Amino acid sequence: MAVKREPMSRRDRPAKPALSRRWIVETAVDIMRREGLEKVTMRRLAQELDTGPASLYVYVAHTAALHAAVLDALLGEVDLSGDEGGEDWREQLRAVMRSYTLVLFAHPQLARSALVARPSGENYLRLVERALGLLSLGGATREQAAWGVDTLLQSATATAAEQSTREHDPAATDDWNATVRALGTASATTHPAIAAHMPALIGGTPEQRFRWGFDVLVNGITHTPAPAVEE
């Protein structure tokens, strides 16, 4: 007996889920993992979702908001435990910041969008919460901790945005080479200080730079008095 069945076409592949913000963002993350953030466009995403670009605007205000949502999803990968750091608040904070930096390094173009559109998703809040707690443990005042978290995250984000571009964008590599060349050929007579600082200006391993940059900020944050902010 033939079984009565629905027309097959709809069942050949997993049914196309109804449009929803959640599903849109998941698909966007997918495209980013496979092809990079520059392919996460409204048009391309719509195509992947089997609809027209106009449909997305019901759930996403504009492209920047889409990228911000992708970023927050990625921040879910940050290890907030600070486990490697042991008991010391400073080492734990270092581990958290290292994890944050690594996530951004692994997804290059995202760091850039974080500088432009400050994230505000759940994973971002968790990260801020954790960093505030660790700085407080280290004896930072309320203002020092609050502004310090800002500075730490901004610095890590900016570093990732700079470095990442260099690694993945051929054009940006040119720019970096141009900078190195420009610094290198600055003559000792016209730019004596540059010449005198030369090996250091372009040297240092990424790990050395990360460690020093982190220590600079934490030392500065905990030792520089901040004015009180009123309610």
Binding site for DNA (CB under 7 A): 18-19, 39, 41-44, 51-55, 57-59, 62-63, 171
Give, as ranges, the residues between 191 and 220 that touch a copy of itself (CB under 8 A): 191-194, 196-197, 199-201, 203-204, 208-209, 212-213, 215-220
Give, as ranges, the residues between 90 and 129 that touch a copy of itself (CB under 8 A): 112, 115-121, 124-126, 128-129
Report DSSP state, residue 131: H
Check binding of 171 to a copy of itself (CB under 8 A).
yes
Choose the one of DNA, a copy of itself, none that binds residue 188, judging by a C-beta under 5 to 8 angstroms depending on kind.
Answer: none
CA–CA gap between residue 170 and residue 87 (Å, rounded): 42
CA–CA gap between residue 57 and residue 214 (Å, rounded): 40
CA–CA gap between residue 174 and residue 86 (Å, rounded): 41
Choose the one of a copy of itself, DNA, none that binds residue 208, judging by a C-beta under 5 to 8 angstroms depending on kind.
Answer: a copy of itself
Output the smallest distance, CB 13 to a copy of itself, in A.
Answer: 35
Residue 174 CA: distances (Å) to CA of 51, 152, 158, 177, 179? 38, 28, 19, 5, 9
Encode burial over 50-61: b for 16+ CB neighbours within 10 A, e otherwise. Answer: eeeeeebeebbe
Give, as ranges, the residues between 131 and 170 that touch a copy of itself (CB under 8 A): 132-133, 136, 142-143, 145-151, 154-155, 157-159, 161-162, 165
Closer to a copy of itself by Cβ: residue 49 or 152: 152
Choose the one of DNA, a copy of itself, none that binds residue 159, judging by a C-beta under 5 to 8 angstroms depending on kind.
Answer: a copy of itself
CA–CA gap between residue 123 and residue 119 (Å, rounded): 9
Contact in structure between 195 and 182 (CB atoms under 8 Å): no
